[in-house]
Chains A and B, each alone.
Chain A
Amino acid sequence: MYMLITIFLTGFFAVLVKLFVIQVRDAEKLQEMARIQYESREIIHPIRGLILDRNLSILASNVTEYTLSVDPSVIERPDTVAQFIAQALGKPYKVIAQHFRDTTVQYAIIEKRIPEGIANRFDGWSCYGVRMRSNPRRRYNFNALAGPVIGYTNVDNRGQSGIELEMNKELSGQEGFIVYQRNARGSRRPEVDYPKVEPVNGRSVVLTISQVYQSIAEEELAHGVELHEAESGRCIILQPKTGEILAMANVPSIDPNKLAEYSPEKARNRVVTDLYEPGSTFKIVAMSAALNEDLHVPEDRINAEGGKWFYNSKLKPIVDDHPYASLTLRGAFEHSSNIVSAKLANELGDERFFKYARNFGFGVKTGVELPGELPGDLRKPLDWDGTTLNYLAFGYGLAVTPLQIACAYAAIANDGVLMRPFIRKWLLDEDRNIVDENVPQVVRRVVSSETSRIMRSFMQGVVDSGTAKLARIDGINIGGKTGTSQRLVNGSYSDKSHVASFVGFFPVEDPEVLILVILDAPKRGYYGGSTAGPIFRNIAMRIINSSSNFAKKPEPLYASFKGSDEVRVPNVKGMRADIAGQVLKAHGFNMETVGRGEIVADQVPAENAMSERRTPVTVRLISATRSGTGDLVRVPDVVGMSLRQAMNFIKSMNLEPSPMGSGLVRSQTPAAGEYVPRGTRCTLDGEARIVTANLY
C-alpha cells in the first residue's frame, strides 16, 4: 500500500513538474503561440503626411476611396442586395447582379475607387457578406506642379519617386491595428479586452519650394521651351544665402494624378538626375581661382590670340566666337572668351584648377534630399591628358548636374561660401508642430569675399554689357553667366545640338534669388544669352513683381510711375476677379486681365508698389480649381484696408468676417497667410474700437 502511495505521489509530482515547465518556464513562448492562433489583426492605415510648400500650401494630400466587395457564397438574398447596391452606385442592376452569380467564390470586387460621397450612401446599411474597405489615395492638389520633384506613390501608398520616395519613411507613419478574436474555424469577432492600437500618422513635409515661384518657373520655362523649340528645359531657383531650393522645374513634366498618361522617363527630376556639359558657365572656376590665387587683377590684359589659339600645333585650336586681340579679365568673362579661360587654367595648373573645381562642388553629390542625385563626372588630374585642362577651362570634358552649377554660382552670390542645397525645410507632426528642421549648412568657403565681390561685378557686366543683355531688367542689378555647349551626339560634338543655359542672381548688391535656366537642344537660337537669358528675365521679372521684398528696396520697376498722384497698389492676389476689380477701382486703378479663370494669381504692379492713379493694374487669372488647396483657405492680408473692403475680401475667400470697431483694419486674427478651413471666422480689429458696439 505504501508502494502505491509512493507511485501515485510520484505521478502527481511528475504532473506538477510538467505543469511548472509549461505554465511558468515556457509560458511566454506558448502565450505567443496562443495569441497567433486566436488573434487576427486588422491593420489600420495611418494617414500619409502632407507635402507642403514653404508657405504651407498643400501640394500633396490624401483622399479616401472605397472598394466594395461581396462574398456571394454567404449572401442570402442576392437580388435585393444587388438592387440596393445598383441604386447606391447609380449603375444598372444587371451589371451589379452578375457579381453575385457565382456562389462558389467568396470574394468578388464590385467596384473600386468609389469616392467618399458615394460611399456615404452605404452608411447605416450593412449586410452580411458585403464589405466596404477604404483605401487612402494620394491627391496632388496642383496637378503637374512640381510633379517630378514631389513624385508619386504606388497603389499601396508607398513613395515611388521624388520627395514621396525620399521621405517615404517620415510620410508613412506607423500602422495601427485592431485585434479580432478568431476561433479554429476562422470566424472573427472584435476582442473587447484588447485596446485598439491607433496608427501614428505620417509627418508632413514642408518643402523649401515656393508654389508661386515653382509655377512661375514652370510656366515660363514651358513657354521658353516652346518658343525655342527645345527638346526639354530645366530650371532651378535657389536662395544663395541659405541653399534653399525655391523651385525646381522640368519640362516636360508629369501630373502625378494621371500617371498613366505619361511615359516614365518624364517623372525624372532631371535637375539632379541628368548630367550635361556646362560649357561657359564653368568658366567661373578658372576665373575666380585666378583671382583668388592673386595671379591677376581684374584689369590685367590677356592675349586673346585674335580668336584662335594654337596651344599645340598638332591639335585643333581653341576658338572664340567673338575674336579679340586682347581682353582684360573682366572683358574675357563678359564676352566669354574660351582662350583666356584656357590660359588662366594653364596658369593655375592641373592640381590647383582641380582643387577649385572640387571646392565649388563639382564631381560630388550636393547631398540634397532627392532620390537619384548624380555626383557628375570630374576626372582627377592623374587621368588628364594634355588637352583636358584647356577644355575643362571652358566647360567641356566633364559632366555636371544643373544643381551643381546653381550651387557654385550661389557660392559666388553668397560671398564665396558654398551652401549645401536643401529642399526639405521642416517635418511637422499632426498638430503642425515642427519636429525636425533643416537649417542652412555651410559646406566650405570656396573663394575669398573679395574674389566673390569681383566675380559678382564681372557677372553684372555680363548682363549689363556682355553676352546676356537680354536678361537685363531695368532698375535692378542682375549678375549672371551664359553657357552654350555643343552636345555629344553619337560620340562627337555637334554644331547642331546645343545646351543653352543662363545662370543669374539678383540683386547683385545682396543676392536673394538665383535662377538657372537650361534648354536642351533648342532649334531656334542656341546661345544661352539669347534663349535661356530671356526665360531667366521673365522668371526674375515675375518674382520681383510678386514679392514685396524686391519692390520695397530698390523699387525699380515703378520708378517711372512716381508722380504727384501716386498711390499704393492694393493686394488683390487670391481674390475673385470681380471683387479684385472692385477693390482696384476703389483705389483708383483700372483692372486689366490676362488668362482665364476666376481667381487672381498675380498682379502687376505688385501689391504695395507705388503707382499712379487711373493706370491699369494687370492681373493674371487662373481657374479656381487649380489654386484650390482642398478645404483650407489662406487668410488674406487685410491690414490697412477699410473694414468694408476687408469684409468683402474675407467673404470672397469663403471666410466669415467678424469686424470690430471702425476705420482701417489694424490687426486680424487668424493672421494673414495661415491656412484655415472654409467658413472660419476672421476677426478684424478696426483702429477706432468701440467696445460697447461689440456684439461678438
Chain B
Amino acid sequence: MKQRTGHIDLYVFLSVLALMLFSVGVVYSASVSISGMRHDGDYNYLFRNHSIRVIMGVGALFVGMFVDYHLYRHISKYLLIIGLILLGYTLVGGTVVKGAQRWVSLGPISFQPSEFAKFALVMHLAVLLAAKQKYINDFRDGFMPLLVWIIAVVGLVFLQPNFSTGSIILAISFMVLFVGRIRIKHLVGVAIAGIPVVLVYAVSATYRWNRIMAHFTDAGAATAGNYQVEQAVIGLGNGGLFGVGMGMSKQRELFLPESYTDFIFAIVGEEYGFIGGVLIMALFAIIMVRGMKIAKRATDDLGRYLAVGITCTITVYAIINAMVTTGLLPTTGLPMPLLSYGGTTIIFTAYALGILINISMYTRIRPREIVHQEEPAGPRVGDLYQ
C-alpha cells in the first residue's frame, strides 16, 4: 500500500513560498521605523534578522520535504521530551518578555520552546494515534497516554504564563484526537472536566481578564488592553479596498508597536488593502484544503494524522491571528504563521510544512489523472474543493 509517487503537492509548496516571500517584503515595511528606533538608527536590523530566518526557513522546508515522515515514528517521543525539558527550563531560566517567561536562549539563537513543543506534541500524538488505532476506543489504554502528554505540554505553557498558546495547543490536540477516532464521549467528558480549570486560570491573572473584557465592552475606547486592536483596525481601514501601496503604511510609525510581529496582517491590509487581505487568507485556505486532501489520501494512519495535525496548527494560527487583528477575538499574542517576524517560529513552521509536503508524496493514487476511475462512490473530497 505504501507507495511513493514522487509528486509533491505544488499548491501547498507554492503557497508556502509565496507567503514566505511576501513576509520578507511586509516585515521590511512594518519593521523599518521600529527598528530604527530600537536599534539606534539601524532601520534594517529587524529586516536583516528576519531575512536570515526566512532563508533558513526555506532550507528547513526542503529538509522537511525530503525526510521520510516515517522516521518520526521512532524519534517523536524524544523530540517531545526535549520540548518538555525546554519548556521546563523556560520557567526557570527563560527571558521575561512582557511579564511572561516565553523565550529561552540556546547559544546564539533564542526561541520560544512552546513553538517547538507544539509541533513535537502534534507529531507524537499522530504517532501514538496511528499505533493505537486498534484499541483507540479504550479510555485507559487508548486515550489516557495521549492526554498525559497533552496535559504536560499545555500545563507547562500555562505556567509561563501563556494562556492563549496553551489553549490553542489544547484545541489543536483535540482536533487531532477527533480525527484520530478517539471516542467523542471521551473528548467531551475531558473537555467538560477541564473547563472549570481553564476558567479559573483565565480569571486568575488580571491582565488576561482585562484583555478579554476589553474585547467585549466598548471597542472604541483606547484602553491599554485593546489599543493594539484599535490601531490594527484603523490600519486595515486606512488601506481600504486597494491599499495605500507597498511601503506606505502609516500605522507602522509606532502607532502599532507590534506591527511586524503579531499585527503583521494589519500592515498587509493597510498596504495592499482588502485585496491583499483576501489573498493572504486564500493562500492559507489553499494550504488548509490541500493539507486535508493530503491527509485523506495518505497511505497510512501516521501520514493522515500528521497531515491533519500540521494543517490544523497552521490554519488555527492563521485564522486566530486574522481574527485578533480584525477585532473578532481578544488579543492573544499569536503570530501569523510564515508571515510574522517570528525568529525561530518561521523555521519550525516551514519544517512542519515540509513534512506535510513529504506526506503528499506518498499517496494511494495520483491526483488529477485517475481520480474518477478509482475513487469509490459516495462523497469525495475532491468534490468539495475542486
Contacts and interface: CB of A to CB of B under 8 A. Distances in A.
Interface of A: 1-5, 8-9, 11-12, 14-16, 18-20, 22-24, 26-27, 29-31, 33-34, 37-38, 181-185
Nearest to B384: A5
Nearest to B321: A15
B250 A181 contact: yes
A662 B129 CA distance: 118
B17 interface: no
Interface stretch (B84-92, B205-213, B236-244, B351-359): B236-244
B254 A185 contact: yes
A330 B227 CA distance: 90
Contacts of B288: 5, 8-9, 12
A12 B320 CA distance: 10
B234 A33 contact: yes
Given A1-B179, A2-B384, A15-B281, A22 B237 contact: yes
A184 B250 contact: no
A4 B312 contact: yes
Contact of B326 (A8, A15, A38): A15
B376 to A, nearest CB: 16
Contact of A23 (B239, B250, B379): B239
B237 A29 contact: yes
B43 interface: no
Contacts, number: 114
A59 to B, nearest CB: 48
B179 A23 contact: no
A12 B315 CA distance: 9
A519 B285 CA distance: 94
A188 to B, nearest CB: 11
B319 A15 contact: yes
B180 to A, nearest CB: 11
A22 B253 CA distance: 20
B273 interface: yes
Contacts of B234: 30, 33-34, 37
A20 B239 CA distance: 11
B254 A30 contact: no
| 5 nearest A-B pairs in the assembled complex, by CB-CB distance | A30-B237, A183-B253, A184-B254, A34-B238, A11-B319
12 contacts: A8-B319, A9-B288, A11-B315, A19-B269, A19-B326, A20-B274, A22-B233, A23-B273, A23-B274, A31-B237, A33-B237, A34-B237
A38 B323 CA distance: 25
A202 to B, nearest CB: 34
B328 interface: yes
B322 interface: yes
Contact of A19 (B178, B277, B292, B379): B277
A4 B175 contact: yes
Interface in B191-249: 233-241
A183 B253 CA distance: 5
Contacts of B241: 23-24, 27
B331 interface: no
A257 B74 CA distance: 96
B254 A19 contact: no
A14 B328 contact: yes
B22 interface: no
B315 A8 contact: yes
B384 A15 contact: no
B236 A23 contact: yes
Nearest to A26: B237
A30 B281 contact: no
B175 A34 contact: no
Interface string B146-174: 00000000000000000000000000000
Contacts of A33: 234, 237
B253 A14 contact: no
A15 B296 CA distance: 26
Nearest to B269: A23
A1 B254 contact: no
B254 A183 contact: yes
Given A1-B296, A23-B241, A38 B315 contact: no
Interface in B271-296: 273-274, 277-278, 281, 284-285, 288-289, 292, 295-296
A185 B308 CA distance: 45
B250 A11 contact: no
B224 to A, nearest CB: 14
Given A16-B278, A16-B281, A30 B233 contact: yes
A29 B233 CA distance: 11
B236 A19 contact: yes
B328 A18 contact: yes
Given A9-B285, A19-B269, 11 more contacts: A2-B379, A5-B289, A16-B278, A19-B236, A19-B326, A22-B237, A23-B241, A23-B274, A27-B238, A34-B237, A184-B255
Contacts of B273: 23
Contacts of A4: 175, 178-179, 292, 308, 312
Contacts of B175: 4
Contacts of B315: 8, 11
A181 B253 contact: yes
A690 B373 CA distance: 109
B250 A34 contact: yes
Contacts of A30: 233-234, 236-238
A185 B36 CA distance: 13
Nearest to B312: A4
B44 interface: no
Nearest to A10: B319
A230 B362 CA distance: 116
B332 interface: no
Nearest to A3: B178
A14 B292 CA distance: 20
Nearest to A31: B238
B25 interface: no
A183 B237 contact: no
A2 B308 CA distance: 11
A183 B32 CA distance: 13
B309 to A, nearest CB: 11
Nearest to B278: A16
Contacts of A18: 323, 326-328
A508 to B, nearest CB: 76
Nearest to B243: A23
A27 B255 contact: no
Nearest to B273: A23
A23 to B, nearest CB: 4
Contacts of A8: 285, 288, 315, 319
Contacts of B178: 3-4
Nearest to A5: B292
A23 B295 CA distance: 35
A22 B229 CA distance: 12
A33 B255 CA distance: 12
A1 B305 CA distance: 10
B35 interface: no
